[in-house]
Structure formats: C-alpha cells, structure tokens
Amino acid sequence: MESWEFGRMVRRWRDRVAPDTVGLRTSGRRRATGLRREELAGLAGISADYLTRLEQGRATSPSVQVVESLARALRVSDAERELLYELAGHASPGRDVVPSRLAPSVQRLLDRLSNTPVVVYDATWTLVVANAPYEALMGETSSWRGIERNAVWRHLVGPPNRTVHTAEEEADLQAGLVADLRLTVARYPADRALGRLIEELGAASPRFGELWEAGSSNAGRERSRQKVVEHPAVGPITLDCDTLVVATDDLRIMVYTAEPGTSDAERLDLAVVLGTQTLV
C-alpha cells in the first residue's frame, strides 16, 4: 500500500463531515469545510499529531483499533469502512471477530440521545464510545488507551470511579462481567485480540483468574437498575441505568436517566451543563 493513500482518504472524508452531525458545537467562522484535524482526533481518541502524520503519509500501518475509531468518527458506509481497512493493510473484521462498529441506525439512535448520558461497549466490555453528557457525569474517557478502555479491567484493577457500590455489589458486578466475558469467548473463539485480552486480565488480576476458573453463572442476571453517582460538583445523583443490547452487532448501550421533576433530575441536568458548556 502507498502510505499516503490511507491518509489522503481520511483527509478527504474529514472534509465532508459537518461538525453538528457528530455533536460538535461551533461558533464563528471556520476555515475547515468539515471537521478540523483536532476535532477528528478527539472523536477517534488519538492525538492530533498522530492524525497529522497519518494524513501526511509520515505514519504508516495504523492499528485495527485506530482504523475502526477513524471509520466510526467519520461516519463512513460499510463499503468505505472496508476500503479504509484495505488501505491500512488489514482485513476487514469478519463474523468471527468481536464487532465494535456502530451501524448507521445505532448512530442515529445515539444522536437522538445526545443530551442524555450514554456509553457503548462491545461484547468484551471494551469502550466503543461515550457521549459528552456521559463524560460530564462520569469523567472523561478520551485519554484511556488499550486495556484501560475495558470495563472488566477497570472494575478489577483500575482506579475507583464515581459510581457508589457496596463491597457486595462490586463483587457481584465483577462476577457478572467475567461471566459475560466467558460467553463472549465461546461466541468468538477465533478472535486473537480477545484471547490476548483474557491473558492480560489474568496477568493483571488474581481475582479475574479466580472468577474465570470458577465459571460463575452470573452472566445476564438481573441487577438493580439504580445507580448512585457521586459527582464532584453536584453531589450524589440516583439514576436509572438501563442496558440496551444491539443483538445484530453484539453491543451494549448503557443509558443513564433520572425521574423527571426530582432533585436527582435537577442535579443530573446541572452536572451535564457544567461538563459540556463553556461558561463565559
């Protein structure tokens, strides 16, 4: 592959994406006809410097994760996504690989929930995308790299998050995530990246090894929809957290809402405003 072809295509497709179609607020005059380079980099979770080098052909062989992130951020069609993989020197993921793409219909659903905290995970519980209200509520995710984006790792090894759990609730959640991951391995036994994830989790967490060997049956078990989020600026917020499963693409969409007219709804609105709007 000519290294510049991949970058040239990304640059061309960047120009055709209007900022408002990907949830970016703009003001004043813009020189860019579509997304600015730093805007696309932020949406794809890569550095603006790396994107510059990709577009200029100075960086070659982007990883599968980078290609998928760029395809998602650019809102490309299925055929264009396959072309992007080909230009990067990768085979387009087949049915034996855990999917992480957002189909146009799923993206439209997320667009309609643009004012509601929403996060999307793939079948390995690896973060696919989190919208701005979610980051305002739970903290930013754009700096997470590699295994840091995996919810199983974050609950077993990673730093504490803003959700308040008792020790029993946390243990139950860990067991459920590991049990669900076992089912994912059974569905995608040929996925090498999934195999590497299991190895990394086992090396990082003895607790993971115990749960994996125990073969917990917690997968899919009904849990409380209510979560308490301890927000640093507005205090505790009791929310309903509903997980929607997109069966065709094996995605998990988690939606956070509060009962209208309650103090929790007011605190949620305030948290979103504080986290998404620049106050002059």
pLDDT tens track for 214-255? 875 555 555 568 999 999 999 999 999 999 999 999 999 999
3-87 and 104-276 agree in CATH topology: no
Residue 240 has which token pair? 């309903």
- The CATH code of the domain at 3-87 is 1.10.260.40
| Cα-based distances in Å from 256 to 57, 128, 131, 136 | 41, 17, 11, 12
Strands (E) in the chain, as ranges, are 118-121, 127-130, 163-164, 226-231, 235-246, 251-257
pLDDT tens track for 140-186? 998 888 899 999 999 999 999 999 999 999 999 999 999 999 999 99
Do 153 and 67 form a contact (C-beta atoms < 8 A)? no
- Mean pLDDT, rounded, of the chain: 90
Q: What is the pLDDT of residue 43?
A: 86
Residue 60 has which token pair? 């070659």
Residue whose pair of structure tokens reads 């599968």 in the numeric block? 64
What is the second-level CATH architecture of the domain 104-276? Answer: 2-Layer Sandwich (3.30)
pLDDT tens track for 23-65? 777 766 777 679 999 999 988 888 999 999 999 999 888 988 8
Segments making up each domain of the chain, as ranges:
3-87, 104-276
Judged by DSSP in three states, 164 sits in strand
pTM of the model: 0.82
DSSP string, 29-83: --S-SS--HHHHHHHHTS-HHHHHHHHTTSS----HHHHHHHHHHTT--HHHHHH
Do 48 and 41 form a contact (C-beta atoms < 8 A)? yes
What distance in Å separates the CA atoms of residue 180 and residue 257, rounded to the nearest whole number?
A: 24
